[in-house]
Amino acid sequence: MERNGESGDVTALILADGRRVEADFFVDCTGFRGLLIEEALGTGYEDWRYLLPCDRAVALPTVRTEPPSPYTRATAHAAGWQWRIPLQHRTGNGLVYASDHLSDDAAAAALLAAVEGQPLAEPRFLRFTTGRRRQAWNRNVVAIGLAAGFLEPLESTSLHLIQTGVTRLLALLPERGPDPLAQAEYNRITAEEYERIRDFLVLHYHANRRPEPFWQARAQTPPPERLQWKLDHFRQFGRVVSEGPELFANTAWTAVMIGQGSCRSRRSRWCACAATRTRGASCPACGAPLRTPSRNVRSI
């Protein structure tokens, strides 16, 4: 590629067949490699492995053994979780894990032991680092998709992030020349979007009560400030608070908070959530008596 010596902007790409493609503006969709955004511009990457330490996956397709269910199943494992995606012609399986806690061989063995149906291929390993590019739009390059960042696939958000990146770019694309205002807005919204999804993923891990070292470490890692704020409100008042529109609606947050038993403040003997309307009942998630048995979980 060629760059402008003064501004540092990318000015042209040289293709493998020798052709030269000149442009004012480039979209980097080269996946994890980030050919322009990272290799050329050195934008930098915010590494979120301290919050979401799963950094590998092993995938294995198997023969379908039953009529496909209309949902993906995610099952916790000792050092990560397993996906099971029913398709019409086969079942997709995979184990997402933290390489600090599980070797590749052990992960493949755990997956092989847990799948139903004959394997259709050899296990395929993937590596990733959860995080985001410090600026999705840097100089005259916008990174979209894996070039912009990666959130581990617990909620399958990658394709959604590609779609919103494209839509956002179309809305903010400058008509002519560089536009720092549009660039700042693109980066602000992109960072927000990634961080809100990150926090929702962290909730799944942070709120667990499993005994294995991997899970214990997740429960003991302090959550991001905004997630702590959400947890505090839910535990105290049984409501989900939000700063604005999010991919995951309040009902999704409520489901995970209750499902993981994150509904009681450590200081309270009462549970604030209204998971059941039976007066005098205890919460099915945390076992504590319900403080507000006749009120719905409120969303604001």
Between 30 and 265, CB nearer to ligand FAD: 30
d(CA 224, CA 202): 9
Of 20, 33, 127, 188, which one interacts with ligand FAD (CB under 6 A)? 33
Count the site residues for ligand FAD by CB under 6 A: 15
Of 148-167, binders to ligand FAD (CB under 6 A) are 153, 156-159
Regarding 51 and contact with ligand FAD (CB under 6 A), the answer is no
Tell the smallest beta-carbon distance from residue 266 to ligand FAD (Å).
35
Regarding 31 and contact with ligand FAD (CB under 6 A), the answer is yes
52 φ/ψ angles, rounded to the nearest 5 degrees = -130, 80
Of 146, 166, 182, 189, which one interacts with ligand FAD (CB under 6 A)? 146
Q: Choose the binding region for ligand FAD from 141-149, 237-245, 257-265, 272-280 (rule: CB under 6 A).
A: 141-149
Q: Choose the binding region for ligand FAD from 24-32, 127-135, 174-182, 239-247 (rule: CB under 6 A).
A: 24-32
Regarding 30 and contact with ligand FAD (CB under 6 A), the answer is yes
- DSSP-assigned states of every residue in the chain: -EE-TTT--EEEEE-TTS-EEE-S-EEE--GGG-IIIIIIT---EEE-TTTS---EEEEEEE---SPPPSS-EEEEETTEEEEEEE-SS-EEEEEEE-TTT--HHHHHHHHHHH--S-BSS--EEEE---EEES-SEETTEEE-GGGTEE--GGG--HHHHHHHHHHHHHHH--SSS--HHHHHHHHHHHHHHHHHHHHHHHHHHHT----SHHHHHHHHSPPPHHHHHHHHHHHHHSEE--SS--SS-HHHHHHHHHHTTTTS-TT-SSB---S---TT-B-TTT-PBBSSTTSPPEE-
Of 10, 27, 35, 271, which one interacts with ligand FAD (CB under 6 A)? 35
Tell the smallest beta-carbon distance from residue 121 to ligand FAD (Å).
12
Tell the smallest beta-carbon distance from residue 145 to ligand FAD (Å).
2
Tell the smallest beta-carbon distance from residue 30 to ligand FAD (Å).
4
Of 53, 80, 131, 145, which one interacts with ligand FAD (CB under 6 A)? 145
Of 98-137, binders to ligand FAD (CB under 6 A) are 126
Regarding 70 and contact with ligand FAD (CB under 6 A), the answer is no
**Site residues, ligand FAD (CB under 6 A):** 29-31, 33, 35, 59, 126, 145-147, 153, 156-159
